[in-house]
Amino acid sequence: MSERDPAAPRWWAAPRTGGLATLALIIALTPFALANNYFYDVAILVGLNAIVCVGLNLLIGYAGQISLGHAGFFGLGAYGSALLASRYGMPPLAALAATTAAVALVALLVGRPILRLKGHYLAMATLGLGIIISIVLANEDGITGGPDGMPVPPLTVLGWTVQGEQVWYWVIGGCLLLAVWLALNLIESPTGRALRALHTSEVAAEVVGIDSARQKLKVFVISAVFAAIAGGLTAFYSGFITPEKASFMRSVELVTMVVFGGMASTFGAVVGAAVLTILPQALTVVKEYEMVVLGAIMMATMIFFPRGAVPTIGAWLARRSR
Amino acid sequence: MDGQWLQFLASGLTAGSIYALVALGFSIIFNASRVINFAQGEFVMIGGMSAVSLTATGMPMPVAIVGAVLIAGVVGLLLERFAVGRARKADVVTLIIITIGASIFLRGLAQLVWDKRIHALPPLTGDRPIEFFGATILPQSLWVIGVTVAIVAVLFWFFNRTLLGKAMLATSYNRMAAQLVGIEVRTVLFASFGLAAALGAIAGVLIAPITFTSYDTGIMLGLKGFAAAILGGLGSFPGAIVGGLLLGLLESLGAGYVSSAYKDVIAFVIILAVLFVRPDGILGALKSERV
């Protein structure tokens, strides 16, 4: 067999083996720190946000394409699953699958013209797309229940109903592991290398034969699918959804999680989701200062650690060990 | 019936003028720094809210307006000095998050300094609507449109006739070259935040008597201003004005003839359609990518 490449990290330090094992260990051990159902609830929200962020990071961090509208896909996933399961009596998992397929199709259709845009124009277009979705969800009250939201039936799989925070915790934990595993594999695949190439320079990437439009579209659809699945799961878990879940501020939250954790770092996306999901919960103690503190933290981390938490800490550790 | 389209036209131009002022702020800051300042809408809010507070202390209206514009201007300068100016080498997404963080921070601060209630500012010259060919127009609408026209004229003079204005334009064309001929790029950056904030505050003072003001009015106005700037072509001043007026008219006609609940959807769908045809906005220069 071939010799080990001396530059490659050992198995325990490589993301696809050691990183994934560490994440699995953290997910397995976290319940010891969860004192009651409220803590479980927060942990589940962390997991759901992390799934969206892992997908969004592929788009923003690796392909370098910003989206300020991914809450729209999240909202479509949530409402689609809820409507198919409640109004049309579809089995919840089938509803989730059908919705995800539909969202993938939507992303495919709108992605083609939108991804031709660059930089701030792309930000505007995705923002507009997200706002259009959230306004439609809020206005079609005959179908979606309007701004007040709508109830969602529970998730049943082959007659077994997933209920209770402690059961959901393991379901979401498993989904998160799967999402991270898929993302890590994609990054190591030719697609991942193509994405990094076009992030550096789209023209240079095309010169070496990368169909950049196709690669960007592919990752856009993948990230939309991650968001839609997380949206559907959120709907089934919480049993109630509102258009708030698809709002512009929600899109901003998601992007902030990705950038905070560190762009082009899958585990960074998970850390970002964890910190920025837990932080507002902790800040409810100082209710009236919540926005001021949150805004200040967003600004300060981006000014002092523009590369995000995980890459900054990683670089610091690397310097220490040298 | 004849007056109806005139009515929509008037309300469209009123809202459009406000969007144009906000969009000009976006373009001024973008030209100086390549930053999209998502806190631009908060300047509108600060302008409106400060004017409400200052008039409540018994100050005459003109003094209160000047005070409100100054307060917003100072906030703009502080934002440049302590946040955006410190992260100049960061990439686009990071800068977007910084300015969004700033907007959340300012909104939170406004909640503490003022409150969460909706406030009204008295109109500049009474609120008796004027009858005009079957349309009824608020005097304040005329103020909004008139002041916007005046500001555009002043800006035209500023950018073409004054040293600072020319320095700002030069920096937007080529930062390096501007620096080489001795322009203080730092000062330009600083001034552009102050100017953009002042423009936002004027928009806030003008619109507050019509749509009222509260700590969160900045979100939607900021987004609309950004949309207008993009629609016209980011960084182009004529583009910002055209984009603003067009957005205002689209919304008003969409609300009037199609559906008021979907006026924002109509506006954004058209913006997307325009961008698909012209990816750099209506008056934006088509640029080729540098390798």
Quick: pLDDT tens for A218-227: 999 999 999 9
Which position has the higher pLDDT, B77 or B216? B77
pLDDT of residue A1: 45
The single-letter code of the amino acid at B225 is G
Nearest by Cα to B102 from A300, A123, A255, A304 = A300
Spell out the residues 6+ positions from residue B49 whose beta carbon is closer than 8 angstroms to its own. B110, B114, B119, B204, B213, B214, B215
The single-letter code of the amino acid at B119 is H
CB distance from B240 to chain A under 8 Å? no
User: Which parts of chain B fold into alpha helices (H)?
Assistant: 2-33, 40-56, 61-82, 92-113, 139-161, 163-173, 175-180, 185-211, 217-232, 237-257, 263-277
Of B91, B104, B234, the CB nearest to A295: B104
Is residue A54 a contact partner of residue A180, using CB atoms and an 8 Å limit?
yes
pLDDT of residue A71: 95
* HSE-up of residue A195 (Cα within 13 Å, Cβ side): 25
pLDDT digits 0-9 by tens, B14-60: 999 999 999 999 999 998 888 889 999 999 999 999 999 999 898 89
Whether residues B111 and A291 touch (CB distance < 8 A) is answered with yes
**Average predicted confidence (pLDDT) for chain A:** 88
In a domain, A188, yes or no: yes
pLDDT of residue A282: 85
In a domain, A8, yes or no: no
Q: State percent of chain A over pLDDT 90.
A: 44
Q: What domains can you pick out in chain B, each with its CATH number? A: 7-126+137-277 (1.10.3470)
Interface contacts (A, B; CB < 8 Å)? 135
Give the CA distances from residue A99 to residues A24, A80, B281, in Å, rounded to whole numbers and listed in that order.
Answer: 28, 5, 34
Query: How would you class B271 by CB atoms within 10 Å of its CB: exposed for 0-12, middle for 13-18, buried for 19 or more?
Result: buried
Nearest-angstrom CA–CA distance, B36 and B26: 6
In a domain, A6, yes or no: no
Whether residues B276 and A116 touch (CB distance < 8 A) is answered with yes
Nearest-angstrom CA–CA distance, B282 and B241: 11
Bridge partners (DSSP) listed for residue B147: none
For residue A6, pLDDT beyond 70? no
pLDDT digits 0-9 by tens, A30-85: 888 888 889 999 999 999 999 999 999 999 989 889 899 999 999 999 999 999 99
Spell out the residues 6+ positions from residue B116 whose beta carbon is closer than 8 angstroms to its own. B214, B215
For residue A301, pLDDT beyond 70? yes
Whether residues A293 and B101 touch (CB distance < 8 A) is answered with no
> How many other C-beta atoms lie within 10 A of the C-beta of residue B172?
21
Whether residues A204 and B276 touch (CB distance < 8 A) is answered with no
pTM attached to this predicted model:
0.88
For residue A146, pLDDT beyond 60? yes
Nearest-angstrom CA–CA distance, A50 and A156: 23
E strand or H helix at B131: strand B130-132
Query: How close is the nearest chain A Cα to the Cα of B134, in Å?
Result: 32
Whether residues B91 and A303 touch (CB distance < 8 A) is answered with no
Confidence of residue B118 (pLDDT cuts 50, 70, 90): confident
Which position has the higher pLDDT, B279 or A259? A259
Nearest by Cα to B69 from B227, B253, B202, B222 = B202
Q: What is the torsion angle, in degrees rounded to the nearest 10, for the CA atoms of residue B225, residue B228, residue B233 and residue B239?
A: -100
Is residue B244 a contact partner of residue B225, using CB atoms and an 8 Å limit?
yes
Residue A197's domain spans which residues? 16-321
For residue B291, pLDDT beyond 70? no
Nearest by Cα to B24 from B250, B287, B221, B226 = B226
Chain CA centroid to CA B56, Å: 25
What's the structural domain count of chain A?
1
CB distance from B64 to chain A under 8 Å? no
Q: What tokens appear for B31 in the block?
A: 């030209």
- Report the CATH number at residue A195: 1.10.3470
Q: Can you give B85-114 as a three-state secondary structure string?
A: HHHCCCCHHHHHHHHHHHHHHHHHHHHHHC
E strand or H helix at B135: strand B135-137
Whether residues B275 and A123 touch (CB distance < 8 A) is answered with no
A146: left (phi over 0), alpha (psi -120 to 50) or beta: left
| Dihedral pair phi/psi, residue B180, rounded to 5° | -65, -30
Distance between terminal CA atoms of chain A?
Answer: 31
Query: How close is the nearest chain B Cα to the Cα of A125, in Å?
Result: 6
Contacts 24+ apart (CB under 8 A), A273-276: A273/A46, A273/A49, A273/A50, A273/A52, A273/A53, A274/A46, A274/A50, A275/A309, A276/A49
Query: How close is the nearest chain B Cα to the Cα of A136, in Å?
Result: 8
Confidence of residue B215 (pLDDT cuts 50, 70, 90): confident
Query: How close is the nearest chain B Cα to the Cα of A64, in Å?
Result: 9
